[in-house]
Amino acid sequence: MNNFEYIRPATISDAVTAAARPGAAYLASGTNLLDLMKGGIARPSRLVDITRLPGLDRIERLGDGGLRIGTLVRNADLAHDPDFANHYPAITEALLSGASAQLRNAATVGGNLLQRTRCGYFYDTASACNKRKPGAGCDALHGDNRLHAVLGWSEACIATHPSDFCVPLVALDAVVEIEGRGGRRELALESLHRLPGDTPEQENVLEPGDLIVALRLPAEARAFARHARYLKVRERTSYAFAVVSAAAALRIERGKITEARLALGGVAAKPWRARAAEASLAGAVPAADAFARAAQVALADAKPSGDNLFKIELARRIVVRALTLAAVGTPDRIPALPASPLSSGTGALHVA
**Site residues, ligand SF4 (CB under 6 A):** 117, 119, 121-122, 129-131, 138-140, 157-159, 200
Dihedral sign from CA coordinates of 127, 132, 137, 142: positive
Which one, 26 or 121, has the nearer CB to ligand SF4? 121
Distance between CA atoms of residues 129 and 196, nearest Å:
12
Q: Identify the H or E element spanning 84.
A: helix 82-87
Which one, 84 or 241, has the nearer CB to ligand SF4? 241
Instruction: Report residue 271: phi and psi, to 5°.
Output: -60, 135
Which one, 51 or 154, has the nearer CB to ligand SF4? 154
Report in angstroms how near the CB of residue 210 gets to ligand SF4 at its nearest: 22
Report in angstroms how near the CB of residue 36 gets to ligand SF4 at its nearest: 12
Neighbours of 6 (CB within 10 A): 9
* Whether the Cβ atoms of residue 208 and residue 17 lie closer than 8 Å to each other: no
Report in angstroms how near the CB of residue 160 gets to ligand SF4 at its nearest: 9
* Whether the Cβ atoms of residue 71 and residue 28 lie closer than 8 Å to each other: yes
Which one, 59 or 195, has the nearer CB to ligand SF4? 195
* Whether the Cβ atoms of residue 200 and residue 119 lie closer than 8 Å to each other: no
Buried residues in 9-21 as b, exposed as e (16+ CB within 10 A): beebeebbebbbe
Which one, 5 or 198, has the nearer CB to ligand SF4? 198
Report in angstroms how near the CB of residue 162 gets to ligand SF4 at its nearest: 11
Q: Is 144 helix (H, G, I), strand (E, B) or coil?
A: coil
Report in angstroms how near the CB of residue 339 gets to ligand SF4 at its nearest: 25
Which one, 40 or 347, has the nearer CB to ligand SF4? 40
Which one, 131 or 321, has the nearer CB to ligand SF4? 131
Which one, 120 or 180, has the nearer CB to ligand SF4? 120
Burial of 260 (0-12, 13-18, 19+ CB in 10 A): buried
Of residues 85, 84, 79, the one with CA closest to residue 104: 79
**What letter does residue 187 receive in the DSSP assignment?**
E
Report in angstroms how near the CB of residue 140 gets to ligand SF4 at its nearest: 4
Report in angstroms how near the CB of residue 221 gets to ligand SF4 at its nearest: 32
Report in angstroms how near the CB of residue 192 gets to ligand SF4 at its nearest: 18
Q: Is 178 helix (H, G, I), strand (E, B) or coil?
A: strand
Distance between CA atoms of residues 60 and 71, nearest Å:
12
Q: Amino acid identity, residue 97? A: S
Of residues 160, 309, 332, 165, the one with CA closest to residue 232: 165
Which one, 126 or 348, has the nearer CB to ligand SF4? 126
**What letter does residue 204 receive in the DSSP assignment?**
B
Report in angstroms how near the CB of residue 119 gets to ligand SF4 at its nearest: 3
